[in-house]
């Protein structure tokens, strides 16, 4: 599998002298889903910003191949544009021809279950529908690397679990790599091939867990003993970082 993103011993010190990351080595291959968990303020969002190229590392090296798409928790939809028009925005900015824009937008709206709500305005949507619209807007771009910064943190557990399934379905048709930050161990285990644990600031990867589940994952998996065992190991690793 080709590597779409890697950092080697990357460090990042902000201009005010805050050392956010130290010696961080992460790699994501095409088609691979990698989650990052770690204490608040340890540098997870910083790592994503660095991976996207928004900010540069101050030591070590980075490699990125192809296009990147950020997905944030705040869906930041344009309130005056319909669901369809919010989703097609990035394609319009790329000056793609209108029939192609219409075809790709319709396909993605179908995929996220929003075809019936395509003409609604953001204020007419539930929180979960807004998040779906935001996901659709990112998916329509077909990037090589997705960077997710706690995209589902504001949702109730039920919507979140459903979107976890939908996200897996959507990505199964793509060969993109994903780097996904979350505070939910269950979400990380459910979605990922690998889960990385970060230390408190300055953040570095202190542990890596291979997730032993195959491609087919349904809600029942969350209640299996193997799921509890893997989640427990990751929770233990986090507890050791910040003992009470």
Ligand X SMILES: Nc1ncnc2c1ncn2[C@@H]1O[C@H](COP(=O)(O)OP(=O)(O)OP(=O)(O)O)[C@@H](O)[C@H]1O
Select the residue interacting with ligand X from 2, 9, 14, 172 (CB under 6 A): 14
Laid out side by side, the sheet with 145-149 consists of 68-72, 145-149, 177-181, 33-37, 194-198, 205-210
Nearest CA-CA partner of 90 in 60, 69, 72, 107: 69
Interface residue with ligand X, options 29, 45, 52, 159 (CB under 6 A): 45
Q: Does 46 bind ligand X (CB under 6 A)?
A: yes
**Which tokens belong to 229?**
């065992």
The SS3 call for residue 188 is helix
40: contact with ligand X by CB under 6 A: yes
Q: Which single residue is written with the structure tokens 């600031």? A: 201
- Output 37 or 145, the one with its CB closest to ligand X: 37
The interface with ligand X within residues 154-213 (CB under 6 A) comprises: 201
Contact between 56 and ligand X per CB under 6 A: no
- Least separation in angstroms between residue 35's CB and ligand X is 13
DSSP 8-state assignment for residue 178: E
Angle, CA of 31, 37 and 40, to the nearest 5°: 140
Toward ligand X, which CB reaches closer, 122 or 151?
A: 151
C-beta of 8 vs 45, nearer to Mg ion:
45
Window of 41-49, 98-106, 152-160, 168-176 that interacts with ligand X by CB under 6 A: 41-49
For residue 240, give every residue at least 6 positions away whose Cβ sits within 8 Å of its Cβ, in sequence order, or none: none
Which residue ranges make up the site for Mg ion (CB under 5 A)? Answer: 45
Binding site for ligand X (CB under 6 A): 14, 16, 18, 20, 40-46, 201
């Amino acid at each position: 599998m080709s590597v779409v993103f890697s950092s080697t011993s990357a460090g990042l010190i902000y201009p005010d002298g805050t050392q956010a990351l130290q010696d961080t080595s992460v790699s994501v291959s095409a088609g691979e889903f990698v989650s990052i968990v770690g204490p608040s303020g340890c540098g997870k969002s910083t790592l994503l910003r660095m991976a996207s190229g928004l900010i540069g590392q101050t030591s070590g090296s980075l490699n990125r191949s192809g296009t990147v798409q950020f997905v944030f928790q705040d869906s930041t939809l344009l309130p005056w544009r319909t669901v369809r028009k919010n989703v097609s925005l990035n394609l319009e900015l790329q000056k793609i021809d209108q029939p192609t824009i219409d075809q790709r937008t319709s396909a993605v709206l179908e995929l996220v279950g929003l075809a019936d709500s395509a003409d609604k305005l953001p204020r007419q949507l539930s929180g979960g529908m807004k998040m779906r619209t935001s996901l659709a807007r990112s998916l329509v771009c077909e990037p090589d690397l997705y960077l997710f910064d706690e995209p589902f943190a504001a949702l109730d557990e039920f919507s979140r679990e459903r979107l976890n399934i939908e996200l897996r379905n959507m990505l199964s048709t793509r060969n993109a790599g994903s780097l996904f930050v979350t505070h939910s161990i269950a979400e990380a285990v459910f979605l990922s091939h690998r889960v990385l644990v970060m230390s408190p600031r300055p953040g570095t990867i202190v542990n890596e867990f291979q997730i032993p589940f195959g491609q087919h994952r349904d809600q029942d998996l969350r209640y299996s003993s193997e799921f509890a065992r893997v989640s427990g190991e990751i929770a233990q690793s986090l507890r050791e970082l910040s003992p009470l």
